[in-house]
Amino acid sequence: MADARRGDVFDLDGAVAVVTGAARGIGFAASRAMARRGAVVVMFDLLAAELEDAATAIRADGSEVVAVAGSVTDEADLDRLVEEATDRGPVSVVANCAGVIRRAPIDELTLADLQVMWDVNVGGTVGVTQRFLPTMIEQRYGKVINVGSLGSVTGLERRTAYATTKGAVSQYTVSLASEVGVHGIRANVVAPGYVDTAMTGPYIWGEPARTEELLGRIPLGRFAKPEDLEGLFVFLASPASDYITGQVLVIDGGWRAR
């Protein structure tokens, strides 16, 4: 990785980065962006066929990526992820982008719904991070980038359970930053607003009245695209952000400004 005191502080050459939820959406964008800056990216996702297609697309421009199919909730899959990643070198970047959402009015919320989201959004984030912390501690350097949402910092109607999990991701990350900073590890949250992905698209475009209402709240007048987040992932993964940790960075097109 480039020395922040000389050359390109956004250079990721030589870094090994693990990205979960990498088959599409934000995870794919993060993988592509870091690979283009020189990182060897280990892409991890449950959607095996889509993951391989995504990896092939990134390799097309000469970038080096490895596709590992599996679930963030499966210990055996995580064992394989660690093996594949460490074969490429010491992992210095972990981007936890895997996530699921279930929407329901508060009076229809079930503990089963909460459990599914908790296992992936929180358990997956913690579980993957824990696997790579020993290496980061040993090398006294590391970047953990966790994906939150507007639900990390504000209420979300019909998404109470989801917001609960994303609030937990935020608090976990801030607490992690406090504890492991002494080892040279930085941990931050990327908290997007409404991003047009396969997971959120049906909601933001599903009803014209809702689409109009949501867009009316965004000063920039549009929903985010996954590529709008690429620069932030590169920044947080690179030496350019070496003095930034414990932050929840909200990327919402100005949503909270109104």
- Provide the residue ranges of all domains of the chain, joining segments of one domain with +: 16-251
pLDDT in tens, 118-136: 999 999 999 999 999 999 9
pLDDT for residue 110 is more than 60 = yes
Which residue in 219, 103, 98, 203 sits closest to 161, CA to CA?
A: 103
Please enumerate in sequence order all residues whose Cβ is within 8 A of that of 103, keeping only pairs 6 or more positions apart, or say none: 158, 159, 162, 203
88-101 per-position pLDDT tens digit: 999 999 999 999 98
> How buried is 22 (Cβ within 10 angstroms: 0-12 exposed, 13-18 middle, 19+ buried)?
buried
Reply yes or no on whether 243 is catalytic: no
Residue 45 has pLDDT above 90, yes or no: yes
CB 82 within 8 A of CB 136: no
- Around Cβ 1, how many Cβ atoms within 10 Å? 18
Query: Is residue 217 classed exposed, middle or buried when 0-12, 13-18 and 19+ CB atoms within 10 A define those classes?
Result: middle
What does the alpha-carbon distance between residue 150 and residue 195 come to, in Å, rounded to a whole number?
11
Determine which one of 141, 162, 172, 194 is catalytic.
162
Predicted confidence band at 6 (pLDDT cuts at 50, 70, 90)? low
* CA proximity to 230, closest of 255, 251, 247, 245: 251
Query: What are the residues whose beta carbons fall under 8 Å from the beta carbon of 239, sequence distance 6 or more?
Result: 1, 2, 3, 4, 9, 10, 11
Beta bridge partners of 69: 45
pLDDT, mean over the chain: 94
Q: Does domain 16-251 have CATH number 3.40.50.720?
A: yes
**CA angle 98–101–107, rounded 5-degree value:** 155
pLDDT tens per residue across span 153-202: 888 877 888 889 999 999 999 999 999 999 999 999 999 999 999 988 99
Q: What mean pLDDT is predicted for residues 54-72?
A: 97
